[in-house]
Each structure stands twice: as structure tokens, then as C-alpha cells.
Amino acid sequence: MQDKKSRPGPRPGGRSALVQAAVHRAVREIQAEGDEAQLTFPAIAVRAGVTPSTLYRRWGTLPELLSDVMVENLRPDKAPEDLGCFRADLSAWIEQYIEEISSVPGRNMLRTVLCADKTQNNVQCATYTLQQIEMLRSRALARGEKVPSADTVLDRLVAPLVYRLLFSAETPGPQHIARLVDAMPDISP
């Protein structure tokens, strides 16, 4: 829902969606080949089989296009693991999330999105995170567990870890994560 609201995106299968898919694929291929110098609108256009003006018209600048591609990469590819209780589910999910975005590609994704400052994409990062948290919450509620609000999870767990990731030299470790989970209200021990 939130996802749809925050970035309607092109009609699936429509011409515009096909162009987007081809352009995103071209960017991913060039990035996979690791040749940064090839990451230009003209080179991407040739690879995608579209005109450079299509790219300028649709994305304006390279950072905006890269931000769009990176946000796609940030889309979670699976539901969080179900370990039978909210605390365990939340801990496992956040540990994996931090591990992913603290990796070199993960940091690059985050940085690319923040650099372009395309609000829609910045918001999308948080929306993906919220959707995962909501999955964990509804699962727990179905089990009859008491759970904190999604905002509380963002404020008390995700934000402090992402802040450390962005503004400190160390990556938050399991102890740090456990400390934040333990300090969170409304979680059954």
C-alpha cells in the first residue's frame, strides 16, 4: 500500500515500464562489470537501446537514475523469518538488515539514494523497512503477543542503528542490537 502510494511507478507491462526495466538492467550490467567510467547517460542509453534524450527526459540527472536503481535493489526479496515470537523475529530481522546495509554494496546503495536526495526514494527506503516491521507485528498480533508500534520500532531500534552506521566508524554489533531490543517497550521477554 504505502509502497504504491509513495511511488506509483509505470503501469506494469506498459511501454514506460519496459523502458524503465531496460534502463535499470543496463545500469545493473554496467555496475556488475565494475566500469564506473561507463556509467554515463550515453553509454546506458546504448546498452538499453533507448535514446539519451529518453534518459534526460525521464531521469533528469544520472544521480536520480542511480537512486531509482538502488532503491529497487533495497526492495526486500523475502518476508522476515518466522521464529515463533516477536522478539526473536525482530532480532533476527534487524541483525540481517544491519548486516546487509553495512556491507560495501549496502552502504553504496544507501549513499547513492541519499546523494540524489530524490525525496520519493528516500521515503521508499523507510517504507520498505516499515513494511517488514508491519509483517513482524501482524504475525505477532495473530499469535496474541503484545507488540510495540511500528514507529516505536523505527525510533528505538532502526534509527539509532542507522545513525551509527552513517555517522560512526564502527558497525553496530549483535550486543548493541540486543541492548536496543531489550530496551524496547511492549515486548514480551
Residue 4 one-letter amino acid: K
Nearer to a copy of itself, 54 or 108 (CB): 108
Residues 180 and 188: their CA atoms lie apart, in Å, by 14
The mark string for 143-162 relative to a copy of itself (x by CB under 8 A, - otherwise) is: -----------xxx-xxx-x
If one asks whether residue 125 binds a copy of itself (CB under 8 A), the answer comes out as yes
Per DSSP, 38 falls in state G
Alpha-carbon distances of 181 from 7, 49, 150, rounded to whole Å: 31, 49, 13
Using CB under 8 A as the binding rule, the residues of this chain from 76 to 105 that contact a copy of itself are none
Task: Check: CB of residue 65 under 8 Å from CB of residue 19.
Answer: no
Using CB under 8 A as the binding rule, the residues of this chain from 167 to 186 that contact a copy of itself are 167-169, 180
Q: Footprint of a copy of itself on this chain (CB under 8 A)? A: 107, 111, 114-115, 117, 119, 122-123, 125-126, 154-156, 158-160, 162-164, 166-169, 180
